[in-house]
Structure 1
């Protein structure tokens, strides 16, 4: 009986060895190249809302990927790669790899999939475009109305100057709002710095990360903003003896405020009624654009349309 057991064990041993996993093909790293024409972010965790540690904003940047993990689904793929710098890049932004990362690299571990965020609540004072990066010319992800509550996740002072303020805040909508549009400046000592931010485009960086549903609408389904210059919350001056600011963009609407000649006025958005352009001011009333020295709908400005900020269901009702 004992000899039979030995013989059986001798037969099983080769089978066990054949079935045992082999790590001979696992590589210490794989050199990856950023897809030509794409900028990308290297994040502190594999989630869209996480701050950036690095930004790859030169075509065909190269880095060494040391392991793979799962995170926010970007353009249909939830795979992210950890660079030798210790930050994570979405697989979608990289040149296609001739192989399987799950076979050729080690898994980064369950802890790598966790999302670590700082958060602070804030409320918008004005109508605000929430952009994919902190510049007026970046794609608008959401049009947020005044009095909208937002959750801030990080801050940057490298954004486009709005009036006198370069600070922008990333929100849980996974887009950036100008600090100037908030009721008050947040205490950034409680928030992470967003890190370096490259130029991004919505068509190449669409994500499925369960971001806030507050006014989360595709701008392409709404009337397109006027394609002009690069301004937001612009200041103009009254060119008539008086400029009446009305409750709605029509001459027959009740006047809420009267501006005087050469008075500086700040504008939020544009509205058109029967071929006449009006602007909603930060006093939440409308002035005919012809009452200003400047032409807010003209070539030097890019103001969003006021209707972009309205709920389509409310408009229909």
Structure 2
């Protein structure tokens, strides 16, 4: 009887040996290199009041984010790149076909760009409607268009050129005009402060605007040369507002070229006449209010003194600077 040796079971040709070795190596490589499957979506919820945008850019219009009526949760399906927020340009697309930053949602125990698919290059495109405008009066540019609750991003002097991107009428009325416009400075200005009424037909509607706070929302768009000077901190015990209507409480109120009653008289307002004030100043030691005629009246000439009003808090003229400062 023949005793079989190990060599009796080897392949009969060298080519067979090489082929089997190649198959084994390929299987090993495939097992170690196979990428993990992407998730079709991740369920999350908002961490703060946020804007869900038509594109992953801070200047794009907003869209109504659909959330679960009970849990307030929603699904994000892919990631993309957009405006850099807090040093990171990663944005998330939702099933509402709008985009949020990763800082708008609850912290994720994973990596968005590893667990979700990339939305595609077309998702990074920015489509904006734009219209140039110039400020006629001193203007507060706010993070959202509500004077009583939204922070001021910048105090802009008269003659400032701005570029408008969209409009809304769901806002605080200023002199009975509720139209506001978002600018490329990523803040909103009231229509009443502009020289000319923009053609709203050429601009997008801004969409739903939540209450936003500077502390929670970065303004890193880098698309504007508009003066971004920081507003001075001041307690908001009353609703802040500019362009205030007041009535003259004296026989006459003289409006001076400078906040000083020894300077040239520019206008004379009569008893009970309505005057629109932009701001107040005490740079000469006495409080004066600047009207939309760009002259200064004594704060004490009016029934409802601009500085000491029971209804509003008017800003200081020093906040805005002058056109020469720009």
Residues 235-293 of structure 1 show CA distances to partners (whole Å, capped at 9, x for unaligned) of: 11111111110111112221111111111100111111454211110000000011111
1: distance between equivalents of 2:295 and 2:70?
Answer: 46
Q: Given the alignment, which residue of 292, 306, 318 partners 1:296? A: 306
1: distance between equivalents of 2:214 and 2:236?
Answer: 18
Q: Aligned ranges for residues 180-195 of structure 1 at < 5 Å?
A: 180-195=192-207
Deviates more, 1:256-265 or 1:293-302: 293-302
Q: Given the alignment, which residue of 199, 217, 221 partners 2:229? A: 217
> What TM-score do you get using the length of structure 2 for normalisation?
0.88
Kept in 1: contact 2:158–2:322 (CA 8 A):
no
Q: Given the alignment, which residue of 31, 35, 55 partners 1:18? A: 31
> Displaced runs of 4+ in structure 1, greater than 6 A?
56-60
Distance 1:122 1:171, change over 3 A: same
Q: Given the alignment, which residue of 166, 173, 196 partners 2:208? A: 196
> What TM-score do you get using the length of structure 1 for normalisation?
0.91
Q: Given the alignment, which residue of 276, 285, 289 partners 1:266? A: 276
Q: Higher Cα Rg: structure 1 or 2?
A: 2
> Aligned residues, how many?
310
Gaps of 5+ in 1: none
1: distance between equivalents of 2:102 and 2:72?
Answer: 14
2: distance between equivalents of 1:125 and 1:209?
Answer: 25
Q: Given the alignment, which residue of 290, 302, 313 partners 1:280? A: 290
State whether structure 2 residue 112 is matched by structure 1 residue 115: no
Gaps of 5+ in 2: 1-13
2: distance between equivalents of 1:59 and 1:233?
Answer: 42
Q: Aligned ranges for residues 126-275 of structure 1 at < 5 Å?
A: 126-137=137-148, 138-219=150-231, 222=232, 224=234, 227-275=237-285
Q: Given the alignment, which residue of 41, 44, 55 partners 1:45? A: 55
Q: 1:196 aligns to what SS in structure 2?
A: coil
Distance 1:214 1:59, change over 3 A: farther
State the partner residue of 2:10.
none
Q: 1:80 aligns to what SS in structure 2?
A: strand
Question: 1:5: how far off?
Answer: 4.6
Distance 1:115 1:21, change over 3 A: farther
1: distance between equivalents of 2:145 and 2:224?
Answer: 18
Kept in 2: contact 1:226–1:304 (CA 8 A):
no
Question: 1:2: how far off?
Answer: 4.1
State the partner residue of 2:8.
none
Q: 1:93 aligns to what SS in structure 2?
A: coil
2: distance between equivalents of 1:303 and 1:100?
Answer: 47
Distance 1:279 1:223, change over 3 A: farther
